[in-house]
Structure 1
Amino acid sequence: MGLDPEELYEVDSDVPDLDGAVLLHFFDGFMDAGQTGRLVTDHLTGEVENRVIARFDVDRLIDYRSRRPTMTYAVDHWEDYEAPELVVRLLHDQDGVPFLLLTGPEPDREWELFAAAVRRLVERWGVRLTVGYHGIPMGAPHTRPLGVTTHATRESLIGEHQPLPNRMQVPGSVSAMLEYRFGEWGHDAMGFAAHVPHYLAQSAYPAAALLVLEAIGEATGLRLPDGELRTAADVANAEIDRQVADSEEVSDVVRALERQYDTFTEASGHSLLAESQEHMPTADELGSQFEQFLAEQDGS
Structure 2
Amino acid sequence: MNSVDGTPEGQDITAEPERFLKEPADGQRVTVMLAAFEGWNDAGEAASDALHYLNKLWDGKKVATVDAEEYYDFQFTRPTVRRTSSGARKVKWPSTRIYKAEVPDSNVDVLLVLGTEPSYRWRAYTTELLVHAEALKVDSVILLGALLADVPHSRPIPVSTTTEDSSLRERLNLEASQYEGPVGIVGVLAEFALLAGLPTVSLWAAVPHYVAQPPSPKAQLAILHRIEDLLQVPLDSLALAEESEAWERGVDELATEDPEIAAYVRQLEEAKDTADLPEASGESIAREFERYLKRRGKERP
Give the structure-2-normalised TM-score: 0.73
In structure 1, give the amino acid aligned to 2:198.
H
Q: CA deviation at 1:26?
A: 0.8
Structure-2 change in CA distance of 1:224 and 1:65 (3 Å): same
CA distance in 1, matches of 2:31, 2:234: 13
CA distance in 1, matches of 2:218, 2:257: 21
Identify the residue that residue 50 of structure 2 maps to in structure 1.
Answer: 40
Identify the residue that residue 134 of structure 2 maps to in structure 1.
Answer: 123
Q: Secondary structure at the match of 2:30?
A: coil
Kindly indicate whether residue 271 of structure 2 is the aligned counterpart of residue 260 of structure 1: yes
Q: Which runs of 4+ in 1 moved over 6 A?
A: none
Kindly indicate whether residue 71 of structure 2 is the aligned counterpart of residue 61 of structure 1: yes
In structure 2, give the amino acid aligned to 1:134.
G
Q: CA deviation at 1:185?
A: 2.4
Kindly indicate whether residue 221 of structure 2 is the aligned counterpart of residue 210 of structure 1: yes
Q: CA deviation at 1:170?
A: 2.2
After superposition, what is the alpha-carbon deviation per residue over 1:141-197, rounded to whole angstroms, capped at 9, x for unaligned?
122332111112324545356665xx4422222221111112122211111001122
In structure 2, give the amino acid aligned to 1:127.
V
Identify the residue that residue 6 of structure 2 maps to in structure 1.
Answer: none
CA distance in 2, matches of 1:265, 1:229: 25
Q: Secondary structure at the match of 1:90?
A: strand
Kindly indicate whether residue 116 of structure 2 is the aligned counterpart of residue 102 of structure 1: no
Structure-2 change in CA distance of 1:20 and 1:116 (3 Å): same
Q: Secondary structure at the match of 1:153?
A: coil
Name the Cα RMSD after superposition.
2.8
In structure 2, give the amino acid aligned to 1:234.
E
Identify the residue that residue 136 of structure 1 maps to in structure 2.
Answer: 147
| Counterparts of residues 73-84 of structure 1 (less than 5 Å) | 79-84=89-94
CA distance in 2, matches of 1:26, 1:107: 12
CA distance in 1, matches of 2:214, 2:81: 25
Q: CA deviation at 1:110?
A: 2.0
Asked if structure 2 preserves the Cα contact closer than 8 Å seen for 1:25 and 1:131, the reply is yes
In structure 1, give the amino acid aligned to 2:184.
S
Q: Secondary structure at the match of 1:229?
A: helix
After superposition, what is the alpha-carbon deviation per residue over 1:199-229, rounded to whole angstroms, capped at 9, x for unaligned?
1223422111111111112112343331222
Q: CA deviation at 1:263?
A: 4.0
Structure-2 change in CA distance of 1:18 and 1:27 (3 Å): farther
Asked if structure 1 preserves the Cα contact closer than 8 Å seen for 2:168 and 2:174, the reply is no
Identify the residue that residue 51 of structure 1 maps to in structure 2.
Answer: 61
Kindly indicate whether residue 245 of structure 2 is the aligned counterpart of residue 234 of structure 1: yes
Asked if structure 1 preserves the Cα contact closer than 8 Å seen for 2:46 and 2:214, the reply is no
In the alignment, structure 1 segments of 5+ residues that lack a partner are 1-16, 272-300
Identify the residue that residue 12 of structure 1 maps to in structure 2.
Answer: none
Kindly indicate whether residue 125 of structure 2 is the aligned counterpart of residue 114 of structure 1: yes
In structure 1, give the amino acid aligned to 2:215.
A
Kindly indicate whether residue 183 of structure 2 is the aligned counterpart of residue 172 of structure 1: yes
In structure 2, give the amino acid aligned to 1:143.
S
CA distance in 2, matches of 1:18, 1:56: 29
Query: Structure 1 vs Structure 2: percent identity of aligned residues?
Result: 23
After superposition, what is the alpha-carbon deviation per residue over 1:37-63, rounded to whole angstroms, capped at 9, x for unaligned?
122022123333121101111111111
In structure 2, give the amino acid aligned to 1:135.
A
CA distance in 2, matches of 1:72, 1:33: 24
In structure 1, give the amino acid aligned to 2:243.
A
Structure-2 change in CA distance of 1:100 and 1:254 (3 Å): same
Q: Secondary structure at the match of 2:113?
A: strand
Q: CA deviation at 1:246?
A: 3.9
Q: Secondary structure at the match of 1:21?
A: strand
In the alignment, structure 2 segments of 5+ residues that lack a partner are 1-26, 281-301
Quick one: which of 192, 197, 200 aligns to 2:203?
192
Name whichever of 22-31 and 147-156 sits farther off: 147-156
Structure-2 change in CA distance of 1:20 and 1:72 (3 Å): closer
Give the structure-1-normalised TM-score: 0.73
Structure-2 change in CA distance of 1:163 and 1:243 (3 Å): farther
In structure 1, give the amino acid aligned to 2:200.
A
Q: CA deviation at 1:19?
A: 5.6
Asked if structure 2 preserves the Cα contact closer than 8 Å seen for 1:28 and 1:106, the reply is yes
